[in-house]
Structure 1
Amino acid sequence: MTADVVERSQTSGTTKETLEDYTLRFAPRTYRRWTPAVVGASALGGIAYMADFSIGAGIGLAHGTGNALLAIGFAALVIFVTGFPLAYYAARYNIDLDLITRGSGFGYYGSVLTSVIFASFTFIFFALEGSIMAQGLRYALGMPLWLGYLLSTLVIIPLVIYGMKVLAKLQSWTNPLWLLLMVAPLLFLVVTQPESVQRFLAHDGGGNGVNTAAVMLGAGVCLSLMGQIGEQIDYLRFMPPRTAANRRAWWTSVVLAGPGWVVFGALKQAIGVFMAVYVLDAVGAVAAIEPIEQFTGVFKQFMPGWLVVPLALVLVVLSQVKINVTNAYSGSLAWTNSFTRVTKRYPGRLVFVCVNLAIALVLMEADMFSFLNKILSFYSNCAMAWVVTVATDIAINKYVLKLSPKQPEFRRGMLFAVNPVGVVSFLASSGLSIGVYFGLFGPAVQPYSPLVAVGIPIVVTPLMAVLTRGRFYLRRTDDGIAEPVLDEDGNPSRTTYECVVCREPYERPDMTASALGGEICSLCLSTDRSGAHVLPATPAITNV
Structure 2
Amino acid sequence: MTIEKDHETLLDPRVESPGTHSAANETLEDYTLRFAPRHYRRWGTGMVAISALGGIAYLADFAIGANIGIAYGTTNALWGIAVFAVVIFATGFPLALYAARYNLDLDLITRGSGFGYYGSVVTNVIFASFTFIFFALEGSIMAQGLKLGLNVPLWLGYATSTIIIFPLVMYGMSLLSKLQLWTTPLWLVLMVAPFVYLLVSHPDSVSDFFAYRGEDGNGAFSLGSVFLAAGVCLSLIAQIAEQIDYLRFMPPKTPENSRRWWSAVVLAGPGWVIFGAIKQVVGLFLAVYIIGNVADGAGVANQPVHQFLEIYEDIVPHWAALLLAVGLVVISQIKINVTNAYSGSLAWTNSFTRVTKTYPGRLVFLGFNLAVALVLMEANMFDFLNTILGFYANCGMSWVVVVASDIVINKYLLKISPKQPEFRRGMLYAVNPVGFGSMVVSAGVSIVAFFGGLGETLKPYSPLVAIVLALVLPPVLALATGGRYYLRRTDDGIDEPMFDEYGNPSGVVLECHVCGEGIERPDVAKCETHDAVVCSLCLSQDKTGEHLLPAQV
TM-score over 0.5 for the pair: yes
Residues 1:60 and 2:74 aligned together: no
Once the 2 structures are TM-superposed, how far is the Cα of residue 443 of structure 1 from its aligned partner? Answer: 0.7
Q: Secondary structure at the match of 2:359?
A: coil
Aligned mate of 1:223, from 216, 227, 234? 234
1:531 is aligned to: 545
Cα 1:19–1:351 shift into 2, 3 Å = closer
Give the aligned length: 532
| Structure 2: runs of 5 or more not aligned | 1-16
1:332 and 1:396 map into 2 onto residues whose CA distance is 31
1:400 is aligned to: 413
Aligned mate of 2:101, from 61, 78, 92? 92
Aligned mate of 2:83, from 70, 74, 80? 74
Of stretches 323-332 and 199-208 in structure 1, the one that deviates more from structure 2 is: 199-208
Cα 1:462–1:38 shift into 2, 3 Å = same
* Matches for 1:152-301 after TM superposition, within 5 Å: 152-205=161-214, 206-281=217-292, 282=294, 283-301=296-314
Aligned mate of 1:438, from 451, 456, 465? 451
Q: Secondary structure at the match of 2:413?
A: coil
* Matches for 1:483-522 after TM superposition, within 5 Å: 483-516=496-529, 517-522=531-536
Once the 2 structures are TM-superposed, how far is the Cα of residue 196 of structure 1 from its aligned partner? Answer: 1.0
2:391 and 2:318 map into 1 onto residues whose CA distance is 41
Once the 2 structures are TM-superposed, how far is the Cα of residue 9 of structure 1 from its aligned partner? Answer: 12
1:130 is aligned to: 139
1:9 and 1:526 map into 2 onto residues whose CA distance is 19
Once the 2 structures are TM-superposed, how far is the Cα of residue 287 of structure 1 from its aligned partner? Answer: 1.2
Q: Secondary structure at the match of 1:485?
A: coil
Residues 1:43 and 2:52 aligned together: yes
1:110-141 deviation per Cα after TM superposition (whole angstroms, max 9, x unaligned): 00000000000000000000000000011111
Q: What amino acid does structure 1 have at the position aligned with 2:261? A: W
Asked if structure 1 preserves the Cα contact closer than 8 Å seen for 2:29 and 2:361, the reply is no
CA-based RMSD of the aligned residues comes to 1.3
Asked if structure 1 preserves the Cα contact closer than 8 Å seen for 2:22 and 2:359, the reply is no
1:395 and 1:195 map into 2 onto residues whose CA distance is 46
Q: What amino acid does structure 2 have at the position aligned with 1:471? A: R
Once the 2 structures are TM-superposed, how far is the Cα of residue 13 of structure 1 from its aligned partner? Answer: 3.5
Q: Secondary structure at the match of 1:301?
A: helix
2:19 and 2:187 map into 1 onto residues whose CA distance is 43
Q: Following TM superposition, where does structure 1 have runs of at least 4 consecutive aligned residues deviating by more than 4 angstroms?
A: 8-11
1:243 and 1:97 map into 2 onto residues whose CA distance is 23
Once the 2 structures are TM-superposed, how far is the Cα of residue 363 of structure 1 from its aligned partner? Answer: 0.4
Once the 2 structures are TM-superposed, how far is the Cα of residue 227 of structure 1 from its aligned partner? Answer: 0.3
| Structure 1: runs of 5 or more not aligned | 1-7, 540-544
Aligned mate of 2:468, from 429, 450, 455? 455
Residues 1:148 and 2:157 aligned together: yes
1:224 and 1:252 map into 2 onto residues whose CA distance is 26
Q: What amino acid does structure 2 have at the position aligned with 1:313? A: V
Once the 2 structures are TM-superposed, how far is the Cα of residue 389 of structure 1 from its aligned partner? Answer: 0.1
Once the 2 structures are TM-superposed, how far is the Cα of residue 445 of structure 1 from its aligned partner? Answer: 1.2
Q: Secondary structure at the match of 1:519?
A: strand
Residues 1:482 and 2:495 aligned together: yes
1:261-320 deviation per Cα after TM superposition (whole angstroms, max 9, x unaligned): 000000000000000111114243331100010001111121222200011000000000
Once the 2 structures are TM-superposed, how far is the Cα of residue 208 of structure 1 from its aligned partner? Answer: 4.5
Cα 1:317–1:533 shift into 2, 3 Å = same
1:4 is aligned to: none
1:306 and 1:143 map into 2 onto residues whose CA distance is 16
Once the 2 structures are TM-superposed, how far is the Cα of residue 240 of structure 1 from its aligned partner? Answer: 0.2
Q: What amino acid does structure 1 have at the position aligned with 2:187? A: W
2:7 is aligned to: none
Q: What amino acid does structure 1 have at the position aligned with 2:288? A: V
Asked if structure 2 preserves the Cα contact closer than 8 Å seen for 1:11 and 1:346, the reply is no
Once the 2 structures are TM-superposed, how far is the Cα of residue 371 of structure 1 from its aligned partner? Answer: 0.8
Q: Secondary structure at the match of 1:513?
A: strand
2:310 and 2:472 map into 1 onto residues whose CA distance is 47
2:279 and 2:194 map into 1 onto residues whose CA distance is 14
Once the 2 structures are TM-superposed, how far is the Cα of residue 185 of structure 1 from its aligned partner? Answer: 2.2
2:520 and 2:545 map into 1 onto residues whose CA distance is 22
1:410-436 deviation per Cα after TM superposition (whole angstroms, max 9, x unaligned): 000000000000011001100000010
1:316 and 1:434 map into 2 onto residues whose CA distance is 33
1:369-395 deviation per Cα after TM superposition (whole angstroms, max 9, x unaligned): 111111000000000000000000000
2:125 is aligned to: 116
* Matches for 1:310-459 after TM superposition, within 5 Å: 310-459=323-472
2:476 and 2:291 map into 1 onto residues whose CA distance is 49
Q: What amino acid does structure 2 have at the position aligned with 1:100? A: I
1:18 and 1:172 map into 2 onto residues whose CA distance is 19
2:9 is aligned to: none
Asked if structure 1 preserves the Cα contact closer than 8 Å seen for 2:28 and 2:172, the reply is no
Cα 1:18–1:528 shift into 2, 3 Å = farther
Asked if structure 1 preserves the Cα contact closer than 8 Å seen for 2:92 and 2:240, the reply is yes
1:91 and 1:11 map into 2 onto residues whose CA distance is 29
1:500 and 1:233 map into 2 onto residues whose CA distance is 30
1:74 and 1:417 map into 2 onto residues whose CA distance is 35
Q: Secondary structure at the match of 2:324?
A: helix
Q: What amino acid does structure 2 have at the position aligned with 1:299? A: Y
- With normalisation by structure 2, the TM-score equals 0.95
1:421-469 deviation per Cα after TM superposition (whole angstroms, max 9, x unaligned): 0011001100000010000111111000000010001111100000001
2:43 is aligned to: 34
Q: What amino acid does structure 1 have at the position aligned with 2:340? A: N
Once the 2 structures are TM-superposed, how far is the Cα of residue 11 of structure 1 from its aligned partner? Answer: 5.1
1:345-381 deviation per Cα after TM superposition (whole angstroms, max 9, x unaligned): 0000000000000000000000111111110000000
Q: Secondary structure at the match of 2:300?
A: helix
2:3 is aligned to: none
1:534 and 1:78 map into 2 onto residues whose CA distance is 39
1:356 and 1:296 map into 2 onto residues whose CA distance is 31
1:3 is aligned to: none
2:491 and 2:298 map into 1 onto residues whose CA distance is 60
1:5 is aligned to: none
2:499 and 2:412 map into 1 onto residues whose CA distance is 18
2:285 and 2:169 map into 1 onto residues whose CA distance is 33
Asked if structure 1 preserves the Cα contact closer than 8 Å seen for 2:29 and 2:362, the reply is no
Once the 2 structures are TM-superposed, how far is the Cα of residue 20 of structure 1 from its aligned partner? Answer: 5.0
Of stretches 253-262 and 197-206 in structure 1, the one that deviates more from structure 2 is: 197-206
Asked if structure 2 preserves the Cα contact closer than 8 Å seen for 1:17 and 1:348, the reply is no
